[in-house]
Amino acid sequence: MNTTAQSRHAGAAEALIALLPSASPLGIALARVADVGHDEQTGAIVASFVGDASADVALIFPDAAALAAAESDIVSVLDVLRPAFEGATAAIGAGVLGELRADDASALFDDPSSTVFAITRDGGAVGWFAIRTREAVGRHGAVRAPRAVTAEMLGRINSVEMALTVEIGRTRMSVRDVLSLEPGSVIELDRAAGAPADILLNGRLIAHGEIVVVDQDYAVRITEILDVATAVA
């Protein structure tokens, strides 16, 4: 594995532990696959990331499952861990993180191109993180430049449906605050009144717009289309 990949993997692991729920600071250390129990690998939380560089990631962190069970039946371990996965994959580059799922991660941990980290606390391992990244490569091993998209190529996927989402703002809340919500509660978002809404295609920002009402239904009027470079950034 080259130095660039190792540095990228370490950056992802550092970003991950910064967002994992823990009562005391967490650290990371390079580990061997042999250090991770087989039963632990089969019960990992895994996800795939597609972007400038694609990646497969797996996490074993029992604390999260205990926290989710203790808080409420409506909060799952996947809810607890998603921010940490988002932070880890954001360190890799621009792209889209897929759904988290519980699965057997043995193949990922055993892959020689993966990097395995021990998640440490007070000098002992309390979890494990495995990551494998891959670049698009050409026939002779060189990184492949993106191909120009032609009208003919787009014509092949004209009938494919994609998820279009309009977002007026976001906020971060603790599980305690979420569970205390009731009818009439007001949640303040991170966007000023009158600011444009974000329009996302399969999770990627592609345009800005304003909210309007058409025949008593909400709609969005496009005010700005972002080019590919701006959207990825």
Closest CA to 85 of 51, 54, 119, 46: 46
Across the range 87-106, mean pLDDT stands at 89
Fold of 3-134: Chemotaxis protein chec (3.40.1550)
What are the tens digits of pLDDT across the range 30-53? 998 888 988 888 889 999 998 778
> Beta 115-121 vs 101-103: how paired, if at all?
unpaired
What are the tens digits of pLDDT across the range 216-232? 899 999 999 986 544 44
What are the tens digits of pLDDT across the range 170-216? 888 887 888 888 999 999 999 888 899 999 887 778 899 999 999 98
Domain coordinates in residue numbering, the chain? 3-134, 160-232
Query: Is the whole model's pTM more than 0.85, yes or no?
Result: no
What are the tens digits of pLDDT across the range 47-89? 999 877 889 999 999 887 776 655 556 677 888 888 999 999 9
> CATH 3.50.50.60: does it fit domain 160-232?
no
SS3 204: strand
Strands (E) located in 61-203 = 95-97, 101-103, 115-121, 124-134, 164-167, 197-201
What are the tens digits of pLDDT across the range 139-160? 455 555 545 555 665 566 677 7
